[in-house]
Chain A
Amino acid sequence: MSETLAVPPAIVAAEPVRREQPVWRLLLNRPTFVTGALILLFWIVCAIFGNDIAPHSPLAQQLLATNQSPSAAHWFGTDQLGRDVLSRVIVGAQTMLVIAPLATAVGAVLGTALGLVLGYLGGVVDLVVSRIVEAVLALPAILVIFLFVVALGVSTLTQILVIGFIFTPLIARTVRSAVQVESQLDYLPAARLLGERSIRMMFVEILPNVMPTVLVEFTIRLGYAIFAVATLAFLGFGVQLSTPNWGTDINANYVVLGAGYWWETLFPALAIASLIIAINLVADAIEQVLAG
């Protein structure tokens, strides 16, 4: 299984290189980054100001106008309870953009710490933890997340922690490889000769140099966190907040898909797809730029 521990060369090669241009300028030169960032920005605006932008209240039910197809009054139609689908799609960005980034942050912080320790210390600790990581990875991540959410019950905090904990070994694995590359460089023996302690070595000397790897991992995992949050909601384990949830809306309305009421599921589905693809475009651009 050693091949699964390898890191794509693009990530390993992400050590700082002298460039003529700052990173943000290189990013802005990439059409993929600009496209992705604009879509992402659109959804962030929707998440923050959604209630002001939405043409209708996302919660207001019109029981005399249920299942209306798209029209001038309701661009995306109405759902089974007569709620405006467009407004629910706009305001629904909030749920995704709160849970997914927090979950990814939990995974990134814990995973980076674990990866630093594993990569720096090596030996028995590395061997034991790597086996546990392998065991977790023997199941599809979404299934493990699902299992723990079922066992622990649905709440915002549970989802953030469960997704974060499942991401921890995945991120740790990548960081570990990057740390092992760093460990072969000259500055570490030099620092050690200066009498620096292990903790300081890991977090002051090595960490800044593996930050590009962490950043790439964060953006890639963010897309997957949205995947997980949306899928949990589609399976009926969505967080029940006062704000709409795209996945929950799809779960509630896909049964009437066969009756021809396609707008109630298609628009939330396209919202999820566009947000994930946007994050993917941004992640791809960051990876390409950092790889030089």
Chain B
Amino acid sequence: MWQGGPLAIYLLRRLGLAVITLFLLSLIIFFAGQVLPGDPARSILGPLAAESAVRALDHQLGVDQPLVTQYWSWISGMARGNMGESYQYQSPVEPLLVTALVNSAKLAALALIVIIPLGILGGVVAALHAGRPTDRIITLTGSSAATVPEFVSGIVVIVIFSVALKLLPPSAQAQPGDSFLTQLRSLILPAIPLVLVLFGYIARMARAGTIEALESDYVRTATLKGLKRVVVIYRHVLRNSLLPTITVIATQTGYLIGGLVVVERLFNYQGIGNLIYHAANAKDFPMLEAAVLTIGVVYMVATVGADLFTTMLNPRQRTGAFR
């Protein structure tokens, strides 16, 4: 079955495109982080510093080099895992970034564990009632929840569960030595805004996939040969409707990270979002660029991974009858 050929070409092509995209992304980040803000030494030393001191620090930071040289030393450092020195902490970026990434991953994982079944269920239920009020309510709730900023829904849940009912803590930062359950409990509130934002997208894809599957010939055949509706839905509809949903979940990881910046800020949680926020406020560009590029890489890995996964699941793509 797996003879390489078209599949290998497809994989190479897919990876090649991902590399090109990452290269362009790194150019954008480099441009926004190093070219636009002007003189880094001046912003570190302040407006009153002597011109000679500014020039000396510029030289030390390497920002008086030609742009191509600067870009090359930055990106080759990144590739080797040397992300430079944070301006604000005067220490290497990597350990700080790794700690923050682990914290964010915990929060994101909790949100995804809740949202994937919930979103798929919502989409399938909407599809089975297509055009009827249940469908409209799920679809409209989903698209509305997706457009409400995370900090807005975050405030609403804090007011309800923390201020009024006093059930859950308004801050998510776990203390050292907290048990797993305590940590989990403090992550429930921050996960809700992320779940709300993602619900609409995942449900929409699951709904579209299910409707397409419901209208297909094989489902009609299965129904006509007398299978129970539950069996038809479980065995024939779901399997086919979930493929596109997997892709959407992967593409939404980028969106999830965007939400993390805001949610981690609101709940005072030390993840990559808070890291980016502090780096931006301190004009700590090495930290900011490293964090944003990392997010881009995470997104790329997720989308390419999802593509590979769907390719392996889809027999038509596996045997080369595509593109």
- A-side residues, CB < 8 A to B, are 1, 3-4, 8, 32, 131-132, 134-144, 146-148, 150-152, 223-224, 227, 230-231, 234-236, 250, 254, 257-258, 260, 262, 265-266, 269-270, 272-273, 276-277, 279-281, 284
Contact = CB atoms under 8 A, between A and B. Distances in A.
Interface string B239-278: 0000010010001001101110110011000000000110
A195 B147 CA distance: 45
30 contacts: A1-B307, A3-B244, A131-B20, A131-B24, A132-B24, A134-B17, A134-B21, A134-B24, A135-B21, A138-B296, A139-B292, A140-B259, A142-B261, A146-B280, A147-B32, A150-B283, A150-B288, A151-B32, A235-B265, A258-B163, A265-B155, A269-B151, A269-B156, A272-B148, A272-B152, A273-B153, A280-B143, A281-B140, A281-B144, A284-B140
A144 B162 CA distance: 32
Interface residues of B, number: 57
- The secondary structure that dominates the B interface is helix
A1 B251 CA distance: 10
B266 A151 contact: no
List the 7 closest A-B pairs by CB distance, nearest first.
A140-B258, A135-B24, A151-B36, A150-B280, A269-B155, A142-B258, A135-B25
A234 B37 CA distance: 22
B295 interface: yes
Contacts of B247: 3
A139 B170 contact: no
Given A231-B150, A269-B152, A280-B144, 20 more contacts: A1-B17, A135-B24, A137-B254, A138-B21, A138-B299, A140-B255, A142-B262, A143-B295, A144-B28, A150-B280, A230-B152, A231-B262, A235-B277, A236-B281, A260-B163, A265-B159, A266-B156, A269-B156, A272-B148, A280-B140
Among A1, A139, A258, residue most surrounded by chain B Cβ atoms (within 10 Å) = A139
A151 B37 contact: yes
B138 interface: no
A8 B207 CA distance: 12
Contacts of B303: 1
A143 B28 contact: no
Contacts of B262: 142, 231, 234-235
A147 B288 contact: yes
Contact of A140 (B17, B163, B257): B257
A93 to B, nearest CB: 15
Nearest to A2: B323
Contacts of B296: 138-139
A135 B18 CA distance: 9
Contacts of A224: 147
Contacts of A139: 25, 254, 258, 292, 295-296, 299
Contacts of B21: 131, 134-135, 138
Among B28, B37, B244, B255, residue most surrounded by chain A Cβ atoms (within 10 Å) = B28
Nearest to B258: A140
A140 B256 CA distance: 8
A86 to B, nearest CB: 17
A265 B152 CA distance: 9
A231 B266 CA distance: 11
A252 B314 CA distance: 51
Given A131-B20, A151-B36, A235 B261 contact: yes
Interface in B69-94: none
Among B258, B277, B300, residue most surrounded by chain A Cβ atoms (within 10 Å) = B258
Nearest to B141: A277
Contacts of B17: 1, 131, 134
Nearest to B255: A140
B275 to A, nearest CB: 12
B149 A231 contact: yes
A192 B204 CA distance: 40
Contacts of A4: 251
Contacts of B307: 1
B260 to A, nearest CB: 9
B286 interface: no
Nearest to A153: B37
Among B20, B155, B300, B303, residue most surrounded by chain A Cβ atoms (within 10 Å) = B155
